[in-house]
Amino acid sequence: MDARLAARRLLVNGIVQGVGFRPFVYQLALRHGLKGEVANTSEGVLIDIEGAPERLDAFEAELVSRTPPLARITEVRATEREPRGAAGFRIVESRRGASMETLIPPDVAVCEDCLAELFDPRDRRFRYPFINCTNCGPRYTIIEDIPYDRPKTSMRDFAMCPACRAEYEHPADRRFHAQPNACPACGPRLALHNAAGDPVAAADPVAAAAALLREGAILAVKGLGGFHLAVDAFDPEAVARLRARKRREEKPLAVMSPDLAAVRTYAFVTEEEARLLSAPERPIVLLRKRPAGPLAAGVAPRNRWVGVLLPYTPLHHLLLAEGFPALVMTSGNLSEEPIAAGNEEALARLSGIADAFLLHDRGIVRRCDDSVVRRVAGKTRVVRRARGYVPRPVFLARRLPPLLAVGAELKNTVCLVKGDRAFLSPHIGDLENLATYEAFCETIAHLERILDIRPEILACDLHPDYLSTRWAEEQRGLLLRRVQHHHAHVAACMAEHGLTGPVIGIACDGTGYGPDGTVWGGEVLAADAARFERLAHFACVPMPGGAAAIREPWRMAVSHLQAAYGSGFSRLDLPVLSETGEERVRVAAAMAAGGVNAPLTSSLGRLFDAVAAILGLRRRVAFEGQAAMELEMEAAEGVEEAYDTEWEEGEPRRILPAPLVRAVVEDLLRGRPAAEISARFHNGLVRLFVRLCRRIREERGLARVVLSGGVFQNARLLEGLLRGLAAAGFAVYSHEQVPANDGGIALGQALVAASRN
């Protein structure tokens, strides 16, 4: 044999299946004149190559530097071998091995090449709504099991026609081994159904559906991870009808536009936001609304922001090309239920809401909502993590045992860990009804299957009544570890940044179970991955009426006013008191004072609610965090003054909300505008936390600060603290890849549960 012949075996891991990786390897090998083979195995992509030694090195270098767009290599293990004198280079069929290390890619937006074909009258896929290739299309939502091959997906029912098969089998083709490959002759089809669910004859279902939308109809559209409800976003009556039927009174609705130019007619778009809107993940991006733009006011009432996304399926492109500058595209569900995914399910659950259904016969194996992101302080912040991101892992600083963390209750997600990878599930929803609970159970089973993870440790919240906790308690044969809610928040942010501690953790949100029997939510902790110590918290006030105090911020106003002024508070000349009515105020105050149905809370989220109510912004909310959001939006720019704050020394320290509340009330009675009061309130909190962190650093030498919890979705507070703490010499960490809210908490539970012994 030629002495200059060498052979090498490469095992490649990462997102390397279903992303055009093998054809890339094939062509790379041909270009370097190498022989051998490539195969998908359950340990990764296995490449055997032989040829001139310098060619092998060049091949290996380009393997990493020229990876296809959707692929992500995390590891290449190389071993030298004896050359075998292979005749050529070939791609071998998938084989199943002992352990699965290869990552499943997320669903991604249709690529430029496919789009060009979609609108090319000479192409055989002209106007075909299911066009895709190895660089784009559905993945996570159609995969039932591994290895990722067509028979393990919901495409198994469609036998490829000869033309599609030829593409699929030709290594040089863009559709080589594209599992969802299809065309009008052999693939899935669209069908239009009326409100009763009966099929409607239409030569072009897209054109027929567009005609209905133009008349103001509500259209249910089957997408990638579930159904959307669509209406013309410039038609106020259609938007109002959708809200009424969906029983969603105030929560903002997402809007889809054909391109950036259309978006710019109603929203401001920065360069970074434009890049995010156009990225293959195609998230909903929260943008600043143009005042007096063409959007119906009902799309995002009383909101300076609007959630916008660009089309991501070929069907979206076809629909929007019918001449809609903006369509409302909101999840096809009733408020608080999971997004509908099956045809029968959608017809049943959305009847009474939709006037027509645009269906197709490609099954959705797993539902997956649209993701939501926002640019804050120069970084992208994920608010809801689902389609486009899942199941891409968060890479951890060290390897952990196989583990499942089941999250909290609201905005639930679960997290599976294998080695140094943490896989967060898509947003599941609020675990408060049967439909969401079923989605929770199905998501766990599906993720364990496609990721091939058999957990040994189970992590849940300390709260005994969360459905996720109860589910965890029912499982047998696993080590169950309960993790305090705010410790988990802090740990989630630590995990994202590869920190193990110790850090100062500021965890602020609406609600979390405290081991002392109070409701926590304004916490300053000293934490590492295993343990935490409560260094400071907001002094507790009662929540008169319990959960009712979350829906009705005026109750928190009464509670905080009573705590700040004593029983004489009711004589204050405040609109929140007069509008609520003397009797109701009196009852709530008595509940608070007597401790009847009035759990104690240190929640900063509830303090935001109280201040929003006192300022007359909102006495009742339609969704959690609404009042706090409006208080943030109210805050004037350019105000430097800040309210003074105080804390009481002790272990833990108690931050006193009363001086803040009194400052708000006094400024309001003096006639100062709410915008200025809100700004001073935000600034006061920033100064408070910076001052507190300085003190803790003096005492304990901790110089790293981690910010987590739903309150840090507040851009004003987050920006202020990032700036203030950095100026004071701290290293500050905040959420980017996973939500600051409870949607990220499972990641933190995982880190804590694995770190304890």
Q: Is 164 in the site for Zn ion (CB under 5 A)?
A: yes
Chain mean position to CA 172:
36
Residue 186 binds which entry of Fe ion, Zn ion, none, with Cβ cut-offs from 5 to 8 Å by kind? Zn ion
Rounded to whole angstroms, how far apart are CA atoms 296 and 390? 32
Least distance (Å) between residue 170 CB and Fe ion = 51
Nearer to Zn ion, 118 or 394 (CB): 118
Least distance (Å) between residue 118 CB and Zn ion = 9
Least distance (Å) between residue 512 CB and Fe ion = 5
Residue nearest to Fe ion (CB): 509
Residue 347 binds which entry of Fe ion, Zn ion, none, with Cβ cut-offs from 5 to 8 Å by kind? none
- 141's tokens: 């939502």
Closest Cα partner for 382 from 747, 706, 738, 108? 738
Among residues 185, 244, 261, 622, the one that binds Zn ion under rule CB under 5 A = 185
Among residues 509, 528, 630, 632, the one that binds Fe ion under rule CB under 5 A = 509
Which residue's structure tokens are 């995002």?
A: 300
Among residues 34, 38, 63, 111, the one that binds Zn ion under rule CB under 5 A = 111
Q: Which residue type occupies 247? A: R
Residue 509 binds which entry of Zn ion, Fe ion, none, with Cβ cut-offs from 5 to 8 Å by kind? Fe ion
Q: Is 115 in the site for Zn ion (CB under 5 A)?
A: no
Nearer to Zn ion, 57 or 112 (CB): 112
Least distance (Å) between residue 160 CB and Zn ion = 6
Least distance (Å) between residue 485 CB and Fe ion = 6
Residue 133 binds which entry of Fe ion, Zn ion, none, with Cβ cut-offs from 5 to 8 Å by kind? Zn ion
**Contact, 39 vs 93, CB < 8 A?**
yes
State which H helix or E strand residue 609 sits in. Answer: helix 604-614
**Contact, 396 vs 751, CB < 8 A?**
yes
Residues in the chain: 757
Among residues 28, 103, 118, 133, the one that binds Zn ion under rule CB under 5 A = 133
* Angle at which helices 434-451 and 467-474 cross, to 10°: 50
Nearer to Fe ion, 36 or 710 (CB): 710
Among residues 34, 143, 183, 327, the one that binds Zn ion under rule CB under 5 A = 183
Report how far apart the first and last C-alpha atoms of the chain are (Å, whole number): 57
Nearer to Zn ion, 133 or 424 (CB): 133
Burial of 729 (0-12, 13-18, 19+ CB in 10 A): exposed
User: What's the 3-state SS for 205-273?
Assistant: HHHHHHHHHHCCCCEEEECCCCEEEEEECCCHHHHHHHHHHHCCCCCCCCEECCCHHHHHCCEECCHHH
Among residues 136, 238, 254, 557, the one that binds Zn ion under rule CB under 5 A = 136
Residue 742 binds which entry of Zn ion, Fe ion, none, with Cβ cut-offs from 5 to 8 Å by kind? Fe ion
Residue 519 binds which entry of Zn ion, Fe ion, none, with Cβ cut-offs from 5 to 8 Å by kind? none
Tell me how crowded residue 244 is: count the other CB atoms within 10 A of its CB. 12
Q: Is 430 in the site for Fe ion (CB under 5 A)?
A: no
Rounded to whole angstroms, how far apart are CA atoms 613 and 555? 9
**Contact, 646 vs 659, CB < 8 A?**
yes
Let me know how many helices (H) and strands (E) the chain has, helices first: 23, 30
Which residue's structure tokens are 């995914």?
A: 341
Tell me how crowded residue 8 is: count the other CB atoms within 10 A of its CB. 21
Q: What is the DSSP string of 269-291?
A: --HHHHHHHHSTT--EEEEEEPT
Among residues 30, 52, 161, 397, the one that binds Zn ion under rule CB under 5 A = 161
The residue count for binding Fe ion (CB under 5 A) is 3
Q: Is 742 in the site for Fe ion (CB under 5 A)?
A: yes
Rounded to whole angstroms, how far apart are CA atoms 223 and 330? 11
Rounded to whole angstroms, how far apart are CA atoms 28 and 49? 11
Q: Is 114 in the site for Zn ion (CB under 5 A)?
A: yes
Nearer to Fe ion, 129 or 512 (CB): 512
Least distance (Å) between residue 117 CB and Zn ion = 8
Strands 255-256 and 305-309: parallel
Least distance (Å) between residue 408 CB and Fe ion = 6
Contacting range for Zn ion; rule: CB under 5 A; set: 154-162, 332-340, 425-433, 610-618: 154-162
Least distance (Å) between residue 122 CB and Zn ion = 17
Least distance (Å) between residue 463 CB and Fe ion = 11
Least distance (Å) between residue 129 CB and Zn ion = 13
Which residue's structure tokens are 């559209």?
A: 221
Site for Zn ion in 38-57 (CB under 5 A): none
Contact footprint for Fe ion (CB under 5 A): 509, 512, 742
Given the rule CB under 5 A, which residues bind Zn ion?
A: 111, 114, 133, 135-136, 161, 164, 183, 185-186
